[in-house]
Structure 1
Amino acid sequence: MRNGLYIETIRHLHCTVLRAGGELDHAGRVRFSACIDAVWGWSVGPVLVFDLADLDFYDSSVIGVLAMAMQRMEEQESGRIILVRPSDHLLSVLRLTDLLSRVELRESVEETVAELMLDGSARGSPSSQDPRLSTPAPDSSGRQRP
């Protein structure tokens, strides 16, 4: 089991992938929320793809993070949240809190990114840009990890 929370962000042309692992508790919620704020404008919408499969532990903070992003999208009247391979427990909690209907579910990050790129290309989005730029999330001191 990992100690603490790690977050990796990957910028794609049509979405931003946020992978989290380790332990997401109240302290981690603050970092994860700050990370979402930092990448908010990376994709049109935005389209945020959450891969939380590597979380060893999470409490209600994960619901708070997702609900905050959902609320912000509703206020802006745009955006999408896609959850990749959510655990049965997380699905159950999302269902109980009536948040499940506000997210999209997928089985693979790679397939999701490919699907979004095809959808974006079909709409005439520029395809000459580099579709993938990887940026690590800041560590607990606010510095970027190598």
Structure 2
Amino acid sequence: MARGKHVAEGARSGGDSSAAPPDHGDGRPAIDVSEISRTERRTIRSSDKKLTIEFEQVSAHMAVLKLAGTLDVYTHRLLREACEKACSDGYWLLVLDLDDLDFLDSTGLGTLVSALKRVRAHRGALSLSLTKDRILKIFRITGLIRVFPTFPSVTEAKDYLFAGNFGR
């Protein structure tokens, strides 16, 4: 598996945003593990360095967005733009790795819900990798723990999406 790393703020050439991912015939996307050909990484930072998002391509339709820092009213646009870009490039299966997130406010939560709606509109799914108790507590208190599939590792979150056993 080839790996590349670079810092990018601009557009990346990618998939056709109008094409839906292949499915099992019942609306669940079918991801063929053989289509995993390479991993591309790019890092996006907010101008004040409060939020960093690292993009990692996993397969033709799956990507991991690793968030580090603060997701709040001042930085939520960066995540919104990263999710919009991922979906427009054909990544309808997203794992958001929140393990390095230090702070999350209601605006950040709203941005996560919007990201979930965006991928579902493309018949995709979103899962979270999350182990920090203070961030998990926010999801429990708001009831969003029942909305977002949450896993203790990125590998488990990816496996969930690869299996295609998610409901809408």
The aligned residue for residue 98 of structure 2 is: 52
For the 8 Å contact 2:104–2:135, the answer to whether it is kept is no
Q: CA-atom RMSD, angstroms?
A: 2.6
The aligned residue for residue 91 of structure 1 is: 136
Higher relative contact order (CA 8 A, sep 6+): 1
Correspondent of 1:62 among 105, 108, 111: 108
Alpha carbons of 1:68 and 1:92: their partners in 2 closer, same or farther (altered >3 Å)?
Answer: same
For the 8 Å contact 1:16–1:43, the answer to whether it is kept is no
- Residue type of the alignment partner of 2:146: S
TM-score calculated relative to the size of structure 2? 0.58
Deviations 1:90-117 (A, max 9, x none): 2222233232212112222134435655
The aligned residue for residue 71 of structure 1 is: 117
Give unpaired runs (5+ residues) of structure 2: 1-47
Alpha carbons of 1:71 and 1:97: their partners in 2 closer, same or farther (altered >3 Å)?
Answer: farther
Residue 18 (str. 1) matches residue 69 (str. 2)? no
- Residue type of the alignment partner of 1:21: A
TM-score calculated relative to the size of structure 1? 0.65
Give unpaired runs (5+ residues) of structure 1: 121-146
Distance between the aligned counterparts of 1:37 and 1:77, measured in 2? Answer: 12
Distance between the aligned counterparts of 2:119 and 2:158, measured in 1? Answer: 20
Aligned positions, number: 116
Residue 101 (str. 1) matches residue 146 (str. 2)? yes
Deviation at 1:52, TM superposition (A): 1.1
Alpha carbons of 1:95 and 1:10: their partners in 2 closer, same or farther (altered >3 Å)?
Answer: same
Moved over 6 A (4+): none
Q: % of aligned pairs identical? A: 30
Alpha carbons of 1:28 and 1:112: their partners in 2 closer, same or farther (altered >3 Å)?
Answer: same
Higher helix fraction (1 or 2): 1
The aligned residue for residue 27 of structure 2 is: none
